[in-house]
Protein backbone atom coordinates (compact mmCIF):
# COMPACT_ATOMS: atom_id res chain seq x y z
CA UNK A 1 0.00 0.00 0.00
CA UNK A 2 1.37 3.44 -0.90
CA UNK A 3 1.76 6.23 1.64
CA UNK A 4 -1.18 8.04 0.06
CA UNK A 5 -3.40 5.02 0.44
CA UNK A 6 -2.23 4.50 4.00
CA UNK A 7 -3.02 8.10 4.78
CA UNK A 8 -6.55 7.52 3.57
CA UNK A 9 -6.91 4.45 5.77
CA UNK A 10 -5.79 6.43 8.81
CA UNK A 11 -8.16 9.23 7.91
CA UNK A 12 -11.24 7.02 7.90
CA UNK A 13 -10.34 4.82 10.85
CA UNK A 14 -7.80 3.60 13.34
CA UNK A 15 -5.79 0.85 11.67
CA UNK A 16 -6.30 -2.56 13.27
CA UNK A 17 -3.30 -4.78 13.82
CA UNK A 18 -3.25 -8.45 12.92
CA UNK A 19 -5.62 -10.96 14.44
CA UNK A 20 -2.74 -13.14 15.63
CA UNK A 21 -1.32 -10.54 17.97
CA UNK A 22 -0.74 -11.59 21.57
CA UNK A 23 -2.73 -9.69 24.20
CA UNK A 24 -0.64 -7.58 26.55
CA UNK A 25 -2.84 -8.27 29.56
CA UNK A 26 -1.87 -11.04 31.99
CA UNK A 27 -3.88 -14.23 31.99
CA UNK A 28 -5.12 -13.46 35.49
CA UNK A 29 -5.76 -15.57 38.52
CA UNK A 30 -8.26 -18.38 38.60
CA UNK A 31 -11.42 -17.81 40.59
CA UNK A 32 -14.24 -20.28 40.90
CA UNK A 33 -17.67 -19.20 39.68
CA UNK A 34 -19.01 -19.39 43.22
CA UNK A 35 -16.34 -16.99 44.44
CA UNK A 36 -17.14 -14.33 41.85
CA UNK A 37 -18.61 -11.16 43.36
CA UNK A 38 -22.29 -10.61 42.75
CA UNK A 39 -23.38 -7.11 41.79
CA UNK A 40 -26.32 -5.58 43.65
CA UNK A 41 -29.51 -5.64 41.60
CA UNK A 42 -29.42 -1.86 41.24
CA UNK A 43 -25.99 -1.99 39.53
CA UNK A 44 -26.81 -4.62 36.90
CA UNK A 45 -26.01 -3.16 33.47
CA UNK A 46 -29.14 -3.92 31.48
CA UNK A 47 -28.75 -4.00 27.72
CA UNK A 48 -31.08 -2.18 25.38
CA UNK A 49 -33.59 -4.20 23.31
CA UNK A 50 -31.37 -3.98 20.22
CA UNK A 51 -28.69 -5.98 22.07
CA UNK A 52 -31.03 -8.32 23.92
CA UNK A 53 -33.40 -11.07 22.85
CA UNK A 54 -35.78 -12.89 25.17
CA UNK A 55 -34.94 -16.38 26.32
CA UNK A 56 -35.50 -18.98 23.61
CA UNK A 57 -36.27 -22.67 23.91
CA UNK A 58 -33.27 -23.50 21.73
CA UNK A 59 -30.22 -21.43 20.81
CA UNK A 60 -27.32 -22.58 18.65
CA UNK A 61 -24.05 -20.65 18.67
CA UNK A 62 -21.64 -20.87 15.73
CA UNK A 63 -18.02 -19.71 15.80
CA UNK A 64 -15.65 -18.22 13.22
CA UNK A 65 -16.31 -19.15 9.58
CA UNK A 66 -13.53 -17.25 7.80
CA UNK A 67 -14.69 -17.28 4.23
CA UNK A 68 -15.60 -20.96 3.93
CA UNK A 69 -19.14 -21.15 2.56
CA UNK A 70 -19.12 -24.94 2.60
CA UNK A 71 -18.34 -25.01 6.31
CA UNK A 72 -21.01 -22.36 6.94
CA UNK A 73 -23.65 -24.48 5.21
CA UNK A 74 -22.59 -27.63 7.01
CA UNK A 75 -22.71 -26.09 10.47
CA UNK A 76 -26.07 -24.45 9.78
CA UNK A 77 -27.47 -27.84 8.73
CA UNK A 78 -25.93 -29.42 11.82
CA UNK A 79 -27.86 -26.84 13.84
CA UNK A 80 -31.12 -27.69 12.06
CA UNK A 81 -31.31 -24.17 10.67
CA UNK A 82 -31.31 -24.74 6.88
CA UNK A 83 -32.21 -27.43 4.38
CA UNK A 84 -30.25 -28.66 1.37
CA UNK A 85 -31.37 -25.59 -0.58
CA UNK A 86 -30.07 -23.26 2.13
CA UNK A 87 -33.62 -22.20 3.08
CA UNK A 88 -34.51 -21.56 6.72
CA UNK A 89 -36.18 -24.57 8.37
CA UNK A 90 -35.33 -23.73 11.98
CA UNK A 91 -38.71 -22.36 12.99
CA UNK A 92 -38.30 -20.59 16.35
CA UNK A 93 -34.61 -21.53 16.60
CA UNK A 94 -32.21 -18.69 17.50
CA UNK A 95 -28.80 -18.84 15.81
CA UNK A 96 -25.96 -16.61 17.01
CA UNK A 97 -22.80 -16.45 14.90
CA UNK A 98 -20.01 -14.81 16.89
CA UNK A 99 -18.25 -12.91 14.08
CA UNK A 100 -15.31 -13.37 11.70
CA UNK A 101 -17.37 -14.57 8.79
CA UNK A 102 -14.80 -13.01 6.46
CA UNK A 103 -11.12 -13.26 5.41
CA UNK A 104 -8.78 -16.25 4.97
CA UNK A 105 -10.89 -18.03 2.30
CA UNK A 106 -12.68 -16.98 -0.89
CA UNK A 107 -16.41 -17.07 -0.12
CA UNK A 108 -16.78 -14.36 2.50
CA UNK A 109 -19.19 -12.20 0.47
CA UNK A 110 -21.45 -15.21 -0.05
CA UNK A 111 -21.43 -15.93 3.69
CA UNK A 112 -22.35 -12.33 4.59
CA UNK A 113 -25.20 -12.42 2.07
CA UNK A 114 -26.38 -15.85 3.27
CA UNK A 115 -26.64 -14.77 6.91
CA UNK A 116 -28.46 -11.58 5.96
CA UNK A 117 -31.02 -13.57 4.00
CA UNK A 118 -31.43 -16.15 6.75
CA UNK A 119 -32.00 -13.38 9.30
CA UNK A 120 -34.99 -12.21 7.26
CA UNK A 121 -36.34 -15.74 6.76
CA UNK A 122 -35.90 -16.69 10.41
CA UNK A 123 -37.69 -13.57 11.60
CA UNK A 124 -40.66 -14.45 9.42
CA UNK A 125 -40.78 -17.93 10.97
CA UNK A 126 -40.58 -16.74 14.58
CA UNK A 127 -36.88 -17.43 15.01
CA UNK A 128 -33.77 -15.28 14.75
CA UNK A 129 -30.33 -15.24 13.16
CA UNK A 130 -27.89 -12.81 14.76
CA UNK A 131 -24.43 -12.43 13.23
CA UNK A 132 -22.04 -10.42 15.38
CA UNK A 133 -19.16 -8.26 14.18
CA UNK A 134 -15.75 -9.74 14.85
CA UNK A 135 -12.32 -8.21 14.62
CA UNK A 136 -11.98 -9.19 10.95
CA UNK A 137 -15.15 -7.33 10.01
CA UNK A 138 -13.76 -4.18 11.62
CA UNK A 139 -10.31 -4.76 10.12
CA UNK A 140 -11.86 -4.71 6.66
CA UNK A 141 -13.73 -1.50 7.49
CA UNK A 142 -10.27 -0.09 8.33
CA UNK A 143 -9.07 -1.33 4.91
CA UNK A 144 -6.74 -3.79 6.63
CA UNK A 145 -6.81 -6.49 3.96
CA UNK A 146 -3.83 -8.60 4.99
CA UNK A 147 -5.94 -11.75 5.39
CA UNK A 148 -8.02 -11.33 2.21
CA UNK A 149 -7.53 -13.98 -0.46
CA UNK A 150 -7.46 -13.27 -4.21
CA UNK A 151 -10.93 -14.78 -4.42
CA UNK A 152 -12.07 -12.55 -1.58
CA UNK A 153 -11.00 -9.50 -3.59
CA UNK A 154 -12.51 -10.80 -6.83
CA UNK A 155 -15.92 -11.32 -5.20
CA UNK A 156 -16.29 -7.56 -4.75
CA UNK A 157 -14.92 -6.48 -8.14
CA UNK A 158 -18.36 -5.35 -9.32
CA UNK A 159 -18.33 -2.66 -6.62
CA UNK A 160 -15.09 -1.05 -7.81
CA UNK A 161 -15.71 2.72 -8.10
CA UNK A 162 -15.23 4.26 -11.51
CA UNK A 163 -14.32 7.71 -10.27
CA UNK A 164 -13.49 7.81 -6.58
CA UNK A 165 -10.18 9.39 -5.72
CA UNK A 166 -10.17 7.85 -2.25
CA UNK A 167 -9.16 4.49 -3.69
CA UNK A 168 -7.00 5.61 -6.60
CA UNK A 169 -3.75 4.51 -4.97
CA UNK A 170 -4.99 1.05 -4.06
CA UNK A 171 -4.22 -1.84 -6.41
CA UNK A 172 -7.07 -2.25 -8.87
CA UNK A 173 -8.03 -5.65 -7.49
CA UNK A 174 -8.59 -4.15 -4.03
CA UNK A 175 -10.79 -1.21 -4.98
CA UNK A 176 -14.10 -3.06 -5.05
CA UNK A 177 -13.55 -4.48 -1.59
CA UNK A 178 -12.43 -1.08 -0.31
CA UNK A 179 -15.55 0.55 -1.69
CA UNK A 180 -17.66 -2.16 -0.05
CA UNK A 181 -16.14 -2.01 3.44
CA UNK A 182 -14.91 1.57 3.88
CA UNK A 183 -17.15 3.47 6.31
CA UNK A 184 -20.45 4.39 4.62
CA UNK A 185 -19.89 1.70 1.98
CA UNK A 186 -22.67 -0.83 1.37
CA UNK A 187 -21.10 -3.68 3.35
CA UNK A 188 -19.87 -1.37 6.12
CA UNK A 189 -23.43 -0.09 6.43
CA UNK A 190 -24.62 -3.68 6.63
CA UNK A 191 -22.06 -4.42 9.35
CA UNK A 192 -23.50 -1.47 11.28
CA UNK A 193 -26.73 -3.45 11.62
CA UNK A 194 -24.83 -6.32 13.25
CA UNK A 195 -24.20 -5.94 16.98
CA UNK A 196 -20.95 -6.37 18.85
CA UNK A 197 -22.80 -8.20 21.62
CA UNK A 198 -26.12 -9.94 22.03
CA UNK A 199 -27.89 -11.31 25.08
CA UNK A 200 -30.28 -14.24 24.69
CA UNK A 201 -31.92 -15.06 27.97
CA UNK A 202 -29.13 -15.31 30.54
CA UNK A 203 -26.29 -15.83 28.04
CA UNK A 204 -24.21 -13.06 26.47
CA UNK A 205 -22.37 -13.61 23.19
CA UNK A 206 -19.32 -11.69 21.94
CA UNK A 207 -16.46 -12.33 19.56
CA UNK A 208 -13.49 -12.02 21.95
CA UNK A 209 -14.76 -11.45 25.47
CA UNK A 210 -16.32 -8.88 27.79
CA UNK A 211 -14.22 -7.52 30.64
CA UNK A 212 -15.53 -5.54 33.61
CA UNK A 213 -14.14 -2.31 32.15
CA UNK A 214 -16.18 -2.89 29.00
CA UNK A 215 -19.32 -3.13 31.10
CA UNK A 216 -18.40 0.11 32.89
CA UNK A 217 -17.83 1.88 29.57
CA UNK A 218 -21.20 0.62 28.37
CA UNK A 219 -21.86 -2.13 25.83
CA UNK A 220 -24.64 -0.14 24.18
CA UNK A 221 -22.38 2.91 24.03
CA UNK A 222 -19.60 0.88 22.40
CA UNK A 223 -22.02 -0.63 19.92
CA UNK A 224 -23.50 2.75 18.98
CA UNK A 225 -20.09 4.33 18.49
CA UNK A 226 -18.92 1.51 16.22
CA UNK A 227 -22.15 1.75 14.25
CA UNK A 228 -21.63 5.49 13.78
CA UNK A 229 -18.09 4.86 12.53
CA UNK A 230 -19.24 2.19 10.07
CA UNK A 231 -21.89 4.56 8.75
CA UNK A 232 -19.29 7.28 8.26
CA UNK A 233 -20.58 9.50 11.07
CA UNK A 234 -17.39 9.49 13.15
CA UNK A 235 -13.73 9.30 12.07
CA UNK A 236 -12.72 6.15 13.95
CA UNK A 237 -14.05 3.46 16.27
CA UNK A 238 -13.77 3.98 20.04
CA UNK A 239 -10.30 3.23 21.39
CA UNK A 240 -11.68 0.69 23.87
CA UNK A 241 -12.89 -1.46 20.97
CA UNK A 242 -9.63 -1.16 19.02
CA UNK A 243 -7.47 -2.01 22.05
CA UNK A 244 -5.67 -5.34 22.34
CA UNK A 245 -7.93 -6.17 25.27
CA UNK A 246 -11.02 -4.88 23.49
CA UNK A 247 -14.12 -7.07 23.27
CA UNK A 248 -13.28 -8.25 19.75
CA UNK A 249 -9.59 -8.86 20.47
CA UNK A 250 -9.10 -10.14 24.01
CA UNK A 251 -8.16 -13.76 24.57
CA UNK A 252 -8.19 -13.75 28.39
CA UNK A 253 -10.92 -16.38 28.45
CA UNK A 254 -9.85 -18.45 25.45
CA UNK A 255 -6.09 -18.89 25.05
CA UNK A 256 -5.42 -22.63 24.78
CA UNK A 257 -3.40 -24.18 27.61
CA UNK A 258 -3.55 -20.95 29.64
CA UNK A 259 -5.71 -20.56 32.74
CA UNK A 260 -8.54 -18.15 31.82
CA UNK A 261 -9.21 -15.07 33.93
CA UNK A 262 -12.22 -16.46 35.76
CA UNK A 263 -12.19 -13.54 38.19
CA UNK A 264 -12.78 -10.98 35.43
CA UNK A 265 -15.33 -13.29 33.87
CA UNK A 266 -17.27 -13.58 37.13
CA UNK A 267 -17.29 -9.82 37.68
CA UNK A 268 -18.37 -9.07 34.12
CA UNK A 269 -21.18 -11.61 34.25
CA UNK A 270 -22.35 -10.37 37.65
CA UNK A 271 -22.39 -6.76 36.45
CA UNK A 272 -24.39 -7.80 33.39
CA UNK A 273 -26.69 -10.12 35.33
CA UNK A 274 -25.76 -13.04 33.05
CA UNK A 275 -25.06 -16.71 33.80
CA UNK A 276 -22.56 -17.40 31.02
CA UNK A 277 -20.61 -15.97 28.11
CA UNK A 278 -20.00 -17.49 24.69
CA UNK A 279 -16.91 -16.36 22.74
CA UNK A 280 -15.16 -17.11 19.44
CA UNK A 281 -11.95 -15.55 18.07
CA UNK A 282 -9.40 -18.10 19.33
CA UNK A 283 -9.19 -21.55 17.76
CA UNK A 284 -9.63 -24.33 20.31
CA UNK A 285 -7.49 -27.30 19.22
CA UNK A 286 -9.80 -29.80 20.91
CA UNK A 287 -13.02 -28.28 19.59
CA UNK A 288 -15.60 -26.39 21.64
CA UNK A 289 -14.59 -26.18 25.30
CA UNK A 290 -16.04 -24.72 28.52
CA UNK A 291 -14.07 -23.09 31.33
CA UNK A 292 -14.59 -21.38 34.68
CA UNK A 293 -17.23 -23.81 35.83
CA UNK A 294 -18.98 -23.77 32.43
CA UNK A 295 -19.51 -19.99 32.71
CA UNK A 296 -17.62 -19.38 29.48
CA UNK A 297 -17.80 -21.46 26.32
CA UNK A 298 -15.10 -21.09 23.64
CA UNK A 299 -16.65 -22.02 20.26
CA UNK A 300 -14.06 -21.19 17.58
CA UNK A 301 -13.13 -24.63 16.24
CA UNK A 302 -11.24 -23.33 13.19
CA UNK A 303 -13.85 -24.95 10.95
CA UNK A 304 -12.80 -22.91 7.91
CA UNK A 305 -10.61 -24.78 5.46
CA UNK A 306 -8.01 -22.13 6.30
CA UNK A 307 -7.53 -24.06 9.57
CA UNK A 308 -9.08 -27.46 8.93
CA UNK A 309 -10.91 -27.74 12.26
CA UNK A 310 -14.07 -29.74 12.98
CA UNK A 311 -17.64 -28.68 12.24
CA UNK A 312 -19.17 -28.04 15.66
CA UNK A 313 -21.76 -25.77 17.25
CA UNK A 314 -22.97 -25.12 20.78
CA UNK A 315 -26.61 -25.88 21.57
CA UNK A 316 -28.19 -24.12 24.55
CA UNK A 317 -31.52 -25.29 25.96
CA UNK A 318 -32.22 -23.55 29.24
CA UNK A 319 -29.29 -24.25 31.56
CA UNK A 320 -28.13 -27.22 29.47
CA UNK A 321 -25.26 -26.80 27.01
CA UNK A 322 -24.49 -29.50 24.42
CA UNK A 323 -21.77 -29.60 21.78
CA UNK A 324 -23.16 -30.59 18.39
CA UNK A 325 -20.63 -32.44 16.24
CA UNK A 326 -20.83 -33.37 12.60
CA UNK A 327 -20.72 -37.11 12.13
CA UNK A 328 -17.75 -38.50 10.30
CA UNK A 329 -18.61 -39.57 6.76
Residue 19 lies in a domain: no
Residue 329 lies in a domain: no
CA distances from 14 to 159, 169, 241, 281 (A): 23, 19, 10, 20
Here the CATH number for the domain that contains residue 295 is 3.60.21.10
Burial 185-200 (b: 16+ CB within 10 A, else e): bebbbbbbebbbbbbb
Range of the domain at 139: 3-14+28-324
Counting beta carbons within 10 angstroms of the beta carbon of residue 150, is it exposed (0 to 12), middle (13 to 18) or buried (19 or more)? exposed
**Number of alpha carbons in the 13 Å side-chain half-sphere of residue 173:** 10
Residue 91 lies in a domain: yes
pLDDT value, residue 25: 34
pLDDT tens for each residue of 268-291:
999 999 999 999 999 999 999 999
Residue 22 lies in a domain: no
Residue 138 lies in a domain: yes
CA distances from 265 to 29, 59, 211, 252, 262 (A): 11, 21, 7, 9, 5
Residue 136 appears among annotated catalytic residues: yes
Residue 283 lies in a domain: yes
Catalytic residue among 136, 207, 214, 281: 136
Q: Give the list of residues 6+ apart from residue 34 with CB closer than 8 angstroms, or none.
A: 293
pLDDT value, residue 162: 78
pLDDT tens for each residue of 44-79:
888 999 999 999 999 999 999 999 999 999 999 999
pLDDT value, residue 44: 85
Residue 282 lies in a domain: yes
pLDDT value, residue 43: 63
What pTM was estimated for this model as a whole?
0.88
DSSP H helical ranges for 24-149 = 69-78, 108-124, 135-141
Low-confidence ranges of the chain (pLDDT < 50): 1-42
Residue 20 lies in a domain: no
Nearest-angstrom CA–CA distance, 57 and 268:
25
Nearest-angstrom CA–CA distance, 173 and 14:
23
pLDDT value, residue 2: 39
Structural domains counted in the chain: 1
Amino acid sequence: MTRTALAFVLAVSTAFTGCDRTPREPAGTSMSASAAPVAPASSVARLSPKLALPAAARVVAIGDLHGDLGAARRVLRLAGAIDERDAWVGGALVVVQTGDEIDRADSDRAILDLFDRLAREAKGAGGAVVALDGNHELMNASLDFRYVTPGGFAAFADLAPRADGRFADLPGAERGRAAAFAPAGPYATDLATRPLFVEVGATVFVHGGILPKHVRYGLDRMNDEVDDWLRGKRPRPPAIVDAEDGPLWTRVYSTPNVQPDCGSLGRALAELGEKRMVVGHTVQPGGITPACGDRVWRIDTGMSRAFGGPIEALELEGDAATVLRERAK
